[in-house]
Amino acid sequence: MSAHRHKHSSSERCSVNRREALRLGAAAGVAAWASVGVPPVLLAKATGFGRARSCFIVFLSGGPSHLDTFDPKPDAPVETRGPFKSIPTVVPGLRLCEHLPRLARLADKYAIIRSVSHGEERHDQASHLLLTGREAPETGSEDARGKAHPHIGSALAAHASDGFDPLAFITLPDRLMPFGPIRGGQGAGTLGSRFEPLLLRGHPGRDDFDPLADRPEASAALHRAVSVRDESPRLRDRYGRDLFGQSLLLGRRLLEAGARVIQVNSVRFLDRGWDTHADAEPMLRDDLLPNLDQALSALLEDLAASGLLDETLILVVGEFGRAPKINASAGRDHWPATFSMLLAGAGIPGGRAVGATDRIGAFPVDRPVSPESLAATISFALGFPSPAAIESTGRSPRLQNPARPLLDLWSETVA
């Protein structure tokens, strides 16, 4: 009996210590945001600070066309609107591409930012900007060389821990451009190797998938989480048996195991990519759009049913959009001037579009949103200072970047 009381009191002390650490971390985060110019009165009213326990990034590598996904222009000329029709959603006035019917039925569960904008047309530089909230220091900078700015997940891992925590930041099913130089912005960069993500490489749906074979320190809970084969065949079918669908299913299992930041890459050259310069119609119609629709809708439904959606910030985005005019090769070229992002969870009200583009989807006409603000919003939702603030000194942030989070995302109406 006494041993039991001793064990119980030890557990209570651990819980109290953790709560105190979280309280102190939140206080430091609020102070950090105040020091970059966010008025204390706004911070006091902001319901989104620390609302998310986890962040789930779905990165559509290559750059999806906003015109063929979340910002269709049915009244534009055919060379702009493309071959697809738009369809209504459950939200009056909000329309999506006709090949996203499942997501159309779930439109009340997410918001769409239609006015994300930057000026970088190169894949490596643009993905670095989206994933770090910072411009790349030089063309082709690589994580392995320690030159790149840290990914949002690595920055938050550095703020929350003194060393490698496998559940702090996880990337799957591979890095962006897995067969070329490691693109900057995917890992710890200047923070050092101990804050690199845990990379779960391979197809989660295959029988030989064993990404932890060379990690004897991995916990039994993590080993259980990576086994999507434990799910029912019916559930696995709901997500889709392709690489992307099974990766989102694995991501959901990792959330349940306690992961903080997860990035699932729709990896170019491994499965299928969104860099649709030529012959875009069949790729979008037959592969990219149906698989995104199936897997993402299954993820949203599962997280909503389990209650995890309320404490998880989900972002779906690529490095840029596609041009508002179809080219001579029946595709669309890179277009960073404006593109769309889907956000869900963490208390963000769904069923609305934030920002707007002109009649052909070429430029924002309302509420342009920068990658710097997006990175600030993610870290604000997770209850930490901005990645730029954390970068140079790890857990003792030195503020460098004045980008503010999008506080009104958590309001019923967006200014």
- pLDDT at position 322: 98
13-22, 108-117, 257-266: range with lowest mean pLDDT: 13-22
* Domain annotation for the chain: domains and CATH numbers: 36-410 (3.40.720.10)
- 163 has pLDDT over 90: no
- pLDDT at position 21: 43
Number of other residues whose CB lies within 10 A of the CB of residue 54: 23
Residue 129 · residue 355 · CB < 8 Å: no
- 101 has pLDDT over 50: yes
Mean pLDDT, rounded, for 124-131: 94
Q: What is this structure's pTM?
A: 0.89
- 129 has pLDDT over 90: yes
Residue 132 · residue 191 · CB < 8 Å: no
- 5 has pLDDT over 80: no
Backbone angles phi, psi at 230, to 5 degrees: -75, -15
Distance CA 90, CA 104 (A): 6
Average pLDDT, the chain: 86
At 15, the pLDDT band (50, 70, 90 cuts) reads: very low
- 70 has pLDDT over 80: yes
- 396 has pLDDT over 90: no
Max Cα–Cα distance, the chain, nearest Å: 79
- pLDDT at position 43: 64
171: left (phi over 0), alpha (psi -120 to 50) or beta: beta
- 329 has pLDDT over 70: yes
Q: Residue 413, Cα to own-chain centre: how many angstroms?
A: 23
At 8, the pLDDT band (50, 70, 90 cuts) reads: very low
Per residue in 332-354, pLDDT (tens digit) is 999 999 999 999 999 999 999 99
- 248 has pLDDT over 70: yes
Distance CA 101, CA 414 (A): 26
Number of other residues whose CB lies within 10 A of the CB of residue 378: 26
Distances (CA, A) of 343 to 31, 54, 165, 332, 374: 26, 13, 26, 24, 11
User: Which has the closest alpha carbon to 347: 396, 394, 309?
Assistant: 309
- pLDDT at position 369: 97
